[in-house]
Amino acid sequence: MLQPFVRALIAAELPVLARHGISMWGYVVLNALDGGPARTQAALAQTIGADKTRIIATLDELQQAGLITREPDPADRRARLLSITQAGQQTRLAAQAEIQANENRILARLPAGDRQAFLRAAQTLSALPLDEI
| CATH (domain of 51) | 1.10.10.10
R_g of the chain, CA atoms, integer Å: 17
What's the pLDDT score for residue 1? 85
Structural domain count, the chain:
1
The residue segments making up the domain with residue 110 are 3-132
pLDDT confidence of residue 113: 95
Identify the pLDDT of residue 75. Answer: 87
- State if pTM tops 0.75: yes
Q: At what angle do helices 3-19 and 24-33 cross, to 10 degrees?
A: 80
Residue 97 near residue 88, CB atoms below 8 Å: no
State residue 11's pLDDT score. 96
- Nearest Cα residue to 22 out of 102, 103, 95, 90: 95
Q: Which residues pair with 39 in a beta bridge?
A: 82
Please report which residue ranges of 2-132 form alpha helices under DSSP H.
Answer: 3-19, 24-33, 41-48, 56-64, 86-107, 112-126
Residues of the chain below pLDDT 70: none
